[in-house]
Amino acid sequence: FILLPENVGKRKAQIAAIRRSSGDLVLNVDSDTTLASDVIRKLALKMQDSAIGAAMGQLTASNRSDTWLTRLIDMEYWLACNEERAAQARFGAVMCCCGPCAMYRRSSLLSLLDQYETQMFRGKPSDFGEDRHLTILMLEAGFRTEYVQDAIAATVVPDTLGPYLRQQLRWARSTFRDTLLLLRLLPGLDRYLTLDVIGQNLGPLLLTVTVLAGLAQLALTGTVPWSACLMIAAMTIIRCTVA
């Protein structure tokens, strides 16, 4: 146990622990996460391949039954893991090994810690998006990142809309910011991953524009925005087809 004299944030606490660790593998777990008894064994088996720098397990909502929102988030986590992450792993590069349950190769981590610690955003040290940034640094160093479906980790999710929206905004900032770093890696990765990154970043923007345009048409003309409805339906069909 390492007791820091003050709260320095998750990233600096991670770095302090990694620098004082001694094992070949480092497991990152959030404080509100409960691991299945076989998670470490299953992740470690995947990490036997020296080409893999990081691997994540499948996330579930431990408080799934609390509210309608926690049920939806649990469904979202299942899709994010078993559709998005599983597909990315098939092509050798999970884009974000999620913070609640991710295992890293310590020798690789040590070579990346300075870049990780000194990341800046808008002129200030970054204090969000640690898992995505660390994953991209692993990919940049030439390692594969993987997903292990049967390594189950249950984490507490927001049960009301306010905290959920704040969480999503924080994650969206991380996604858009670190995509700029990812762009230079895409030529060396499978073409599916380029399609995936484009969809992840353009999809939400196009959806926002479509919804706003539809609401503006409804408010200004009093007519049903059929074109916006058709666009949203088309985007949904395209997204499901990619999945």
Query: What is the rounded average pLDDT for all residues in the chain?
Result: 91
Quick one: 213 and 172 in the same domain? no
Number of structural domains in the chain: 2
Identify the domain containing residue 225 by its residue range.
203-242
38-55 pLDDT per residue, tens: 999 999 999 999 999 999
- Model confidence, pTM: 0.86
Q: Answer whether residue 128 is part of any domain.
A: yes
The secondary structure of the chain as a DSSP string is ----SS---HHHHHHHHHHT--SSEEEEE-TTEEE-TTHHHHHHHHTTSTTEEEEEEEEEETTTTS-HHHHHHHHHHHHIIIIIIHHHHHTTB-S---TTEEEEEHHHHHHHHHHHHT-EETTEE--S-HHHHHHHHHHHTT-EEEEEEEEEEEE----SHHHHHHHHHHHHHHHHHHHHHHTTTGGGS-HHHHHHHHHHHHHHHHHHHHHHHHHHHHHHH-S--HHHHHHHHHHHHHHHHH-
Quick one: 226 and 172 in the same domain? no
Quick one: 135 and 221 in the same domain? no
Instruction: Find the range with the poorest average confidence among 88-92, 129-133, 143-147, 210-214.
Output: 129-133
What is the arithmetic mean of pLDDT over 173-184?
Answer: 84
Q: Tell me, what's the pLDDT at 32?
A: 92
Q: Provide the CATH number for the domain around residue 153.
A: 3.90.550.10
